[in-house]
Amino acid sequence: MKSMKQLMKKGLALVPLSLVLFLSGCELAVLDPKGPVAQTQYDLIMYSIIFMLFIVVVVFGAFAFMVIRYRENRPGRKESDYDPHMHGNNLIEIVWTVIPFVIVIALSIPTVDSLFELEKPPEATAGEEQKEPLVIYATTADWKWFFSYPEENIETVNYLHIPTDRPIEFKLSSADAMTALWIPRLGGQKYNMAGMENTLYLQADEEGVYDGRNSNFNGEGFTKQTFEVYAESEEDYDSWVEETQSSAPELTQEEYDELLKPGLTVEAEYSSTHLEFVDHGTNDGRDYAIERHYDLYGDLMHLYSDQEAEDFMDEENDDDHESSVE
Amino acid sequence: MQLDEFFVTGEPLIYGGMVSIALVTIAILFILTYFKKWGWLWREWLTTVDHKKIGVMYILSALAMLFRGGVDAMMMRVQLAFPNMNFLNAQHYDEIFTTHGTVMIIFMAMPFLIGLMNIVVPLQIGARDFAFPYLNALSFWSFLFGAMLFNISFVIGGSPDAGWTSYTPLAGAAMSPGPGQNFYLMGLQLSGIGTLATGINLMVTILKMRAPKMKMFQMPIFTWSTLITSFIIVFAFPILTVALALMTLDRIFGAQFFTLTGEGMPMMWANLFWMWGHPEVYIVILPAFGIFSEVICTFARKQLFGYKAMVWAIILIAGLSFVVWVHHFFTMGAGAFVNSVFSISTMLIAVPTGVKIFNWLGTLYKSKIKNTVAMMWALAFIPSFVIGGVTGVMLGMASADYQFHNTYFLVAHFHYVLIAGTVFACFSGLVFWYPKMFGHKLNERIGKWSFWFFVIGFHVCFFPQYFVGLDGMPRRVFTIIPEWMPLNIISTIGAFGMGIGFAIFVFCILYSYRYSEREKSGDSWDDGRTLEWATPTPVPFYNFATLPEIDSQDAYVKLKEEGRTTFEEDKLEPIHMPNNTGQPIIMMAFLFFASFGLVFEWMWMAIAFLIGGLIMMVVRSFDYDEGYHVEVDEIKRIERSARGL
């Protein structure tokens, strides 16, 4: 048992080391902010971690002291080390009630502050003009993403382009189950719900391709409900918009209804938006998908981890083929 | 309905499950018949109203459920460590994390603690049984049948697959057709009856049946935590009952409470669920705090530090537990003000919890720590729980939670509090009170091996999950990207460490049954502080021959000092005890089949058995069984032999 304990102690010593390694590496998505929203959250997390480490050090220290010093068979135990009738001490109890209370206050102030801040578009850095937010409707349906740009009159499926240094105002809603839009490097998540519209502000300061996903479980295809965010300069973004407007087909209601069927799908782009037929974020649009595809939600895809969306689409087509032959 | 729709088909793992269920059932039937144990089983266990036996049955069932939930966990860990092996597909994975969560919370953690309460609380306060022994038996059978109903879903009809939170609209009839989700609704509803009844039962027992002159602020701390927990149960469980009933109406009878169609309010489910769900996590943590307090006092051989502060901390935590539920969905977009209020109320819980941690450390100060297995579990709890606690505060900071929500950071947090809190407490409490229950101790040497495997495995499993969560890995995904692979493999190794720890624990139970020395004294650990240790071992069915007057917090310490016992021959009087009854198990069996009918929407079956259940209630209403009296001579005989006089 002795050797086990020593092993355990060595293991414990490694814990803070690994912590430092991980945090300083900053490879972790949430700790690698690429925009002001994620930065605000990163700062808050780092601020709180300092308090938490302090608490952990104090408690672990006190705990180690008690357990080592007051064990029954410690060599050199004195008679004065044992006082079975000690029942409490008001002063010290007040002290260790007040200190956590103060810590809670110290954590609450920046939390509340940032909560209100995150409800508004991020402010431009000093000396630069404040840009109007770009409005993107982000709508989910089992298990895909639609990004509609109403001003540009284009729509993308399962990917999106955004300009850097400009706030993005996401209008979140869902055609069916509750989901959440999350792009860890740009900022925290918010739910997409049918019949309701949530607003989420994000912004990218650095160009790059960022992973985004649905982070709220919504059924079989949940794991694969991801998308990529292409954050690019204003010019590149504008030329992408123009190209999409001119080369992509229009989205017909028939095609959109087909896309709403539960299942996986590949990336696509259109030179019009589904908002022309339905806005799932309104009370009128909440049951649009359910009304049309009620019987399809129970069908299983038999989705395995090594299957890509494309494979899955082919398989679906084969199935259709077979059934039509029969 | 075709037979292949009734049984789950197409999965080799599930066929394996069916075969093992069939084999185990046959084996049990064979053993009972071969050794002619049916009568014994019926008389001694199935019809018992003795709180100690009911407690033992709770704990055995909970251990079985721990095994089932643990197997689910192992399968998830294997899938995540080797996602390209195609061990589980998406659907199967969804079912497994749903059943893992539900089984562990509803059918493992709660019954385990209720089992310990059953055995210990009446003994700690000097009561001869629960206030309502019949109701107590009813509670147990309601739990067991509810658990069985939920557990058969994976071979019959299909498991629920919408997560243990069962959020609508996903869990509604449109998006989750079939019996799977109905199993969740009916299983929880059926076992919920028992939980609520136990809450009321314990509350009355503690308030009305304490030993003469035992004041509220002289009750042992585990009894205190049980009392507060019963209050939480009584206030929180009706919310779940109503929510489940509404969703049942939605799914089976076409109502529109939580649907997208017909102006339903899907988000209302999330609110109702967590208005119950958050108090629920305190239902499983407060008794754990109580257990740790008892174990630490006993093996530190010292009075609890700051007893009154400990009690008030529990009360405060219980109160706050009802006003924090929104922190489970800060991301729903309720606005900055609402999130601020719930952020602050959430973080405030850290204050009384911190007070408790410091008071335990205060108890260890100037103590004489005896390193038993029960004490090791209690000591391991303190640092582990602190890690879970501080990350909980981080999650409570709403704007940071936008980045933590639904990730492995959250998964790591709640496993750190629920395992280091509740599961460690279950092990600690079981080892601690084991001699009272079974008349022999668990082997300490094997127990220590199981402890180290489990605790080290636990940290190896869950500590990396904080980081993989910060790297953007959401919970409930069945496959991962290569960046998350190393940490996930470490996690899986840890999970198997915990599995080995559990296996050693089970071995320890079997080994100790065979080889452990039988207890001779009632005060098994020589340092017992509370009344349960004043009873002889094995505990006579009436618990206390005579009830001592209590005038201090550590009642048994005082009795020992004064040389008194719970057997004062000159004060003996006949003891009034309840008769055994087969009604509770029959009534709940009827409700089980009624629920089963509802799951498959076979109304004839549901109605027929519901009527059966109602008839049993009528039978009970006209049941004038007044119990019986144990005569003084018999008490003398039993006590003398038990105490070796």
d(CA B412, CA B466): 6
Q: Does A14 touch chain B (CB under 8 A)?
A: no
- In this prediction, residue B14 carries a pLDDT of 83
Residues of chain A with pLDDT under 50: 1-4, 6, 9-10, 316-326
CATH number (domain holding residue A39): 1.10.287.90
Ranges of chain B whose pLDDT falls below 50: none
Kindly state whether residues A153 and A208 are assigned to the same domain. yes
Distances B434 to B52, B55, B373, B513 between C-alpha atoms, Å: 12, 12, 12, 11
Range of the domain at A178: 134-299
Residue A96 lies in a domain: yes
Q: What backbone torsions phi and psi does residue B29 show, to the nearest 5 degrees?
A: -60, -45
Closest CA to B390 of A257, A86, A19, A91: A19
CA atoms within 13 A on the CB side of A289: 33
Q: How far apart are CA B596 and CA B185, in angstroms?
A: 11
| Burial class for A90, CB neighbours closer than 10 Å (0-12, 13-18, 19+) | exposed
On chain A, the residues whose CB falls within 8 A of the CB of B340 are: 111-112, 115-116
pLDDT of residue B357: 97
Q: Considering only CA atoms, which of B448, B287, B283 is closest in space to residue B379? A: B448
Q: Which amino acid is at B643?
A: R
A169 and A93: one domain? Answer: no
What is the chain B residue with the closest CA to A117? B336
Query: What's residue A17's pLDDT?
Result: 53
A9-36 per-position pLDDT tens digit: 445 555 555 555 555 555 799 999 999 9
Contacts of residue B361, defined as CB under 8 A and 6 or more positions apart, other chains included, come to: A59, A62, A63, A66, B382
Alpha helices (H) in B41-109, listed in sequence order: 51-81, 90-102
State CA B253 to chain mean position distance: 32
- Distance of residue B602 Cα from the nearest chain A Cα, in angstroms: 20
Q: Do A191 and B331 touch (CB under 8 A)?
A: yes
Query: Which pLDDT score, from 0 to 100, does residue A320 have?
Result: 44
A54 touching B (Cβ < 8 Å): no
Q: Is A63 on the interface with B (CB under 8 A)?
A: yes
B6 by Cβ neighbours in 10 Å (0-12 / 13-18 / 19+) ranks as middle
**Burial environment of residue B170 by CB neighbours within 10 A (0 to 12, 13 to 18, 19 or more):** buried
CATH number of the structural domain spanning residue A258: 2.60.40.420
Closest by Cβ to B399, choosing from A22, A59, A114: A114
**CA nearest A83 in B: which residue?**
B366
The residues of chain B that CATH labels 1.20.210.10 are: 288-518
Tell me, yes or no, whether A318 lies in a domain: no
Spell out the residues 6+ positions from residue A319 whose beta carbon is closer than 8 angstroms to its own.
Answer: none
Domain count, chain A: 2
Q: Considering all CA atoms of chain B, what is the largest pairwise distance in Å, rounded to the nearest integer?
A: 76
Tell me the one-letter amino acid at B92: H
Cα separation, B409 vs B400, whole angstroms: 12
Question: In terms of domains, do A138 and A223 share one?
Answer: yes
Tokens of B281: 């996590």
pLDDT of the residue at B635: 94
Residue of B275, B273, B277, B307 lying closest to B290 (CA atoms)? B307
As a whole number of angstroms, the distance between CA B144 and CA A61 comes to 44
Instruction: Give, for A211, the enclosing helix (H) or strand (E).
Output: strand A208-214
**Type of residue at B253:** F
Burial class (CB in 10 A: 0-12, 13-18, 19+), B65: buried
Domain-located, residue A220: yes
* CB contact set of A126 (below 8 Å; sequence gap of 6+): none
Which letter does DSSP use for residue B244 in this model? Answer: H
Q: Is residue A319 part of a domain?
A: no
Say if CB A127 and CB B377 are below 8 A apart: no
Q: Answer yes or no: do A199 and A57 share one domain.
A: no
Smallest Cβ distance to B470: which of A31, A59, A93?
A: A31
Rounded to an integer, what distance in angstroms lies between the CA atom of residue A180 and that of residue B262? Answer: 24
Q: How far is B195 from chain A (nearest CA, A)?
A: 29
Question: What's the ipTM?
Answer: 0.93
Match 């009528």 to its residue by tokens: B618
Tokens at residue A55, please? 């608490």
In this structure, which amino acid lies at residue B284? V
| A104/B367 Cβ within 8 A | no
My answer on whether A248 and A287 are in the same domain is yes
Nearest residue to B260 (alpha-carbon basis) of A177, A17, A220, A10: A177
A139 contacts: CB under 8 Å, gap ≥ 6: A145, A146, A147, A148, A172, A173, A174, A175, A192, A274, A280, A281
Task: Output the six-digit token pair for A235.
Answer: 């010019």
Position A304 in a domain: no
A-chain residues within 8 Å CB-CB of B306? 87-89, 93
Does residue A178 sit in the same domain as residue A290?
yes
The reply to whether A201 and A95 lie within a common domain is no
Q: Which of A217, A227, A287 is most worth mutating to test chain B (most B CB atoms within 10 A of its CB)? A: A217
Preceding amide of B276 cis, omega within 30? no
Same domain, A246 and A159: yes
CATH class of segment(s) B288-518: mainly alpha
Closest CA in chain A for residue B368: A72
Task: Confirm whether A5 is domain-assigned.
Answer: no
Instruction: Determine, for residues B336 and A81 on separate chains, whether the beta-carbon distance falls below 8 Å.
Output: no
In a domain, A7, yes or no: no
Alpha carbon of A299: minimum distance to chain B alpha carbons (Å):
9
- pLDDT value of position B282: 96
Contact B465, B414 (CB under 8 A): no
Q: What is the pLDDT of residue A326?
A: 34
Q: Are residues A107 and A151 in the same domain?
A: no
**In chain A, which among 168-187 make CB contacts under 8 A with chain B?**
172, 176-178, 180, 182, 184, 187
Residues A277 and A185 in one domain: yes
Q: Which two tokens stand for residue A233?
A: 């300069």
* Residue at token pair 């009813």: B138
Is the same domain home to A149 and A219?
yes
